[in-house]
Amino acid sequence: MFDTKTVSMEWGGKTLTLETGRIARQADGAVLATYGETVVLCAVTAAKSVKEGQDFFPLTVHYQEKFSAAGRIPGGFFKRERGATEKETLTSRLIDRPVRPLFPEGFYNEINVICQVLSYDGETEADVVAMIAASAALTISGVPFMGPIAGCRVGMKDGEYQLNPSMAEVAEGRLDLVVAATHDAVMMVESEAKELSEEDMLGAVMFAHEENRKVIDAIIKLAEQSAKEPWEIDLSDDKAAMKEEIRGLVGNDIAAAYKLTDKSARSSALNEVRAKIKTHYADADGQTQMTAGKLGKKLEAEIVRTAILKDGARIDGRKVNEVRPIEAMVGFLPRTHGSALFTRGETQAICTTTLGTKEAEQMIDGLDGLTYSNFMLHYNFPPYSVGEVGRFGAPGRREIGHGKLAWRALHPVLPSREDFPYTIRILSDITESNGSSSMATVCGGCLSMMDAGVPIERPVSGIAMGLILEGDEFAVLSDILGDEDHLGDMDFKVAGTEAGITTMQMDIKVAGITQEIMGKALAQAKEGRAHILGEMTKALGSARNELSAHAPRIETIQIDKSKIRDVIGTGGKVIREIVAETGAKVDIDDEGVIKISSSDVAQIEAAKKWIEGIVEEAEVGKIYNGKVVNIVDFGAFVNFMGGKDGLVHVSEMKNERVEKPTDVVSEGQEVKVKVLEIDNRGKVRLSMRVVDQETGEELEDTRPAREPRGDRGGDRRGPRRGGGGGRDRNRGPRSDDNGPAKEGGNPDHMPAFLKDDD
């Protein structure tokens, strides 16, 4: 029934298997990829015709994680997979970026690539498996895909590269790098690194490329068995005469427009050029008008690229390795915890840092279960930043991707949770954009964190590199403009500290780049990063020593794990009371680490003192401040040290005889007490009479010494037996020494150990 074709290979210590012919047979191409026990199904479908008037390539890539793949049911009210998570969006982009450039120019048929994670082993990340499955499905589908590609993850530990390391190995190592490549060239790079050198990063990319070639060979073997007939498409370019006509019409105007260094002026001039082309072909049919517009844009690219390669003349007049003017300032927003305004040329970002407590952490429900993140970076790109009218609202794929890139750049230099127990959120609002707004976010975000007092290891800067490639000739451009990005062949972003690279992202619009080009781009980027760091230092060289007055303070204390239940109390009663009374937030974990937070230092100190009182052991002979919490006929119960209760017997209230405890104390009264005795069950006997209630100084005991409790008639703590231990007639209704009277009093104020005595 099934005509199944399978290819398997050993790769990175696990078996990679590609299978087709069993599942999703009505798709143009479908591949089930298995690596370890992670299984991803990718199905490709393509429209057989182009929609009328369409002048772009409508490729959509969707990556979806099924909770059942990890044996989990989705959390929350809705128990099914919903809209794409941030991780799913980022993985969809990860697959799209190396695939899109490998379709021929002029191919406008709509294509869907849908990748679904069906099984997840908790070790092998599914993103790389999905990329391989997508490449294989496209390769066998018959669509004009100039692949295949392959992708792999590279880690680094103890100076050695690791192929497809587990998530635990990535966390322990210094590198998390994903590389996609064809057999001949690298197409895409995405990474986070712990300040690695350019040589180490380039070596990791080349290591990945060699490993990718092995998978590409396996995909080709699968295609030789199962590929469908390739589509017959006519993409011949017979518009040379029309292109030359447009060159004569507006060629000089385009060259003049691209000599205008101001973006707005340049955009206006180019709009006039495009309007001139449109007017010239106004009487032609719709297809001709569309073709003329596209040829005009091609002519723009040709003029700009030729000028850069031949004369080194960039659009704004800079040299190829020159960075635009930079202006940075910090602390310009009065109520934020940290703020920075970073401007580089016509690209500008307002970045703010907000510090929060543990409860502000981001909860993530994914295949690995419920996890929490204490560092967030959110990037916004409103339409006014490019002088346009457009959609404004929830972030799109591009905004999520740019935010994650900046997140990866800054994450490696953050302090540990133990050293800085705050949740950190950076918000980047792009207010002007003309290229490399994600790297402006890195620089501005770093400055805003330092302004907030986050003790980062070293400042981070970022730069975007471009490429103009014509045959064997190429030029690498530093700090590219938006037009240089659109008209060029590469968008290569590098961020890091003076000690090394923290992230590297590369997208290619041609069929890949060589090791030589990447090496030159990395070296040029290092120079640019150093220059930008120098400009950032003029605004703020290191993290401030003090947090903002508006930021919460967090103090951490460690208690013995056996005392956790005492701090929490039955049903959380004690910890809720601490929070309600002091106003501070209190978090406690299973290891006995307590974090007390508030913007008011006095509230933190009050909560800390309370907790220390609960966990501290009372000392016999020591004097404490206390509060009367319950009065009974034979004395008063006093709470001291925040969580301890003891009995002040009526005979210990004053040196003279006291008829009723209420003659001396009232409920809620602040008193000073001395610990006389702590028995082997933890019950505490207190005295007020030997302490000066005004000064707290100990007074001389003028009463005759009492005989030890164990030598007096009968055991007054135990059950009444025979004639021994008869009750004291002056004590009122019968009661235990440290228990409540059977008449009167309020036993709810007493701890459990005082209630359960006979």
Distance, C-alpha 386 to centroid of its chain: 27
pLDDT recorded at residue 640: 86
pLDDT tens track for 694-747: 888 988 877 765 555 544 444 444 444 444 434 343 444 444 444 444 344 444
680 band by pLDDT with thresholds 50, 70 and 90 = confident
Q: Residue 42's pLDDT is what?
A: 98
Q: What is the pLDDT of residue 197?
A: 96
Closest Cα to residue 145, out of 218, 236, 59, 34?
59
Per-residue pLDDT band for 307 (boundaries 50, 70, 90) equals confident
CA–chain centroid gap for 464, Å, is: 22
Residues making up the annotated binding site for Mg(2+) are: 485, 491
Kindly state the percentage of the chain with pLDDT values over 90. Answer: 61
pLDDT at residue number 704: 65
**How many other C-beta atoms are found inside a 10 Å radius of the C-beta of residue 166?**
17
Handedness of CA 554, 558, 559, 562 (dihedral sign): positive
Cis peptide before 148 (omega within 30 of 0): yes
Q: How confident is the model at residue 138 (pLDDT cuts 50, 70, 90)?
A: very high
pLDDT over threshold 80, residue 390: yes
Mean pLDDT across the chain, nearest whole number? 88
Q: What confidence tier does 101 reach under pLDDT thresholds 50, 70, 90?
A: very high
Asked whether the domain spanning 240-311 has the same topology as the one spanning 5-226, the reply is no
CA dist., res. 193 & res. 201, Å (int): 9
Does the domain made of 326-539 have the CATH classification 3.30.230.70?
A: yes
Residue 236's pLDDT is 67
Please state, in angstroms and rounded to a whole number, the distance separating the CA atoms of residues 596 and 579.
Answer: 10
Residue with tokens 């003090």: 546
Ramachandran region of residue 571, left (φ > 0), alpha (ψ -120 to 50) or beta? left
CA of 515: how far to CAs of 187, 203, 522, 566, in Å?
12, 10, 10, 63
Q: Where are the domains of the chain?
A: 5-226, 240-311, 326-539
pLDDT score at 431: 97
Range 164-190 average pLDDT: 94
Q: Which of 407, 440, 396 is nearest to 176 (CA)?
A: 407
Residue 524's pLDDT band, with cuts at 50, 70 and 90, is very high
User: Which region among 163-172, 512-521, 603-612 has the lowest average model confidence (pLDDT)?
Assistant: 512-521
One of 1.10.1060.10, 1.10.10.400, 2.40.70.10, 2.60.40.10 is the CATH number of 240-311, namely: 1.10.10.400
User: Residue 82 carries which side chain, given as an amino acid letter?
Assistant: R
Q: Which helix (H) or strand (E) holds 646?
A: strand 644-649
In sequence order, what are the residues at sequence separation of 6 or more whose Cβ sits closer than 8 angstroms to the Cβ of residue 310? none
pLDDT at residue 578, rounded to an integer: 92
- pLDDT value of residue 473: 86
Q: Which CATH number fits domain 5-226: 3.40.50.300, 3.30.230.70, 3.90.870.10, 3.40.50.620?
A: 3.30.230.70
The two tokens of residue 634 are: 């034979």
Q: Report the C-alpha gap between 588 and 594 in whole angstroms.
A: 4
Query: What was the pLDDT predicted at 449?
Result: 97
DSSP string, 693-705: TTT-PBPP--SPP
Q: What is the β-pairing status of strands 644-649 and 635-640?
A: antiparallel
Question: How high is the pLDDT of residue 588?
Answer: 92
Q: How far apart are CA 221 and CA 107, in angstroms?
A: 26
Query: Strand pairing of 38-46 and 29-35?
Result: antiparallel
Q: Could you please report the per-residue DSSP string of 38-99? A: EEEEEEEEE-SSPPTT--S--EEEEEEE-GGGGT----SS--S--SPPHHHHHHHHHHHHHH
If DSSP codes are grouped into helix, strand and coil, which group holds residue 669? coil
How does residue 358 score in pLDDT terms, banded at 50, 70 and 90?
Answer: confident
Q: What percent of the chain has pLDDT over 70?
A: 92
Q: Say yes or no to pLDDT of 103 above 80.
A: yes
Q: What local confidence, expressed as pLDDT, does residue 727 receive?
A: 39
Q: Give the residue numbers of the binding site.
A: 485, 491
pLDDT greater than 70 at residue 104 = yes
Picking from 460, 381, 447, the residue whose alpha carbon sits closest to that of residue 413 is 460
